[in-house]
Amino acid sequence: MNSQDRKAAINAWKERKPAPAGIFSLTCAVDGAVWVGESRNLEAQQTGLFFALRHGGHPNRAAQAAFARHGAEAFTYAELERLSDDDTGPLQRAMLRERGAHWRARLNAASL
């Protein structure tokens, strides 16, 4: 990589948009269980969530047990809400907690 390519790559990295943060749900179609979680990167959340569940390493025991019992086909991931790009840092964390609590109450869901 020459110096021009390196500078262009650095500038592109600096100008990239932050990943969207927001609220998501995981629903089991077999037993109707719903879990709601918050994510600072919704675009990568689904992949990470299903990876942890497939390998038996998700910290939520109820979700992990349901996944082991029913399999991946029984589960759907849904993005419920995206936060504004203006919400960053401590404000973003507070908004995620607040909106996560709102969606858990609205859907009568457990925390993920």
4, pLDDT greater than 90: no
pTM: 0.83
Superfamily classification of domain 18-111: GIY-YIG endonuclease (3.40.1440.10)
Give the CA angle between residues 97, 60, 73 to the nearest 5°: 105
pLDDT average, residue stretch 57-68: 96
Q: Which of 60, 81, 61, 63 is nearest to 72 (CA)?
A: 63
100, pLDDT greater than 90: yes
Please list the residues that pair with 36 across neighbouring strands. Answer: 25, 111
Token pair belonging to 73:
């086909």
Domain chopping of the chain, boundaries: 18-111
Describe the strand order of the beta sheet including 110-111 as a list of residue ranges: 75-82, 22-28, 34-39, 110-111
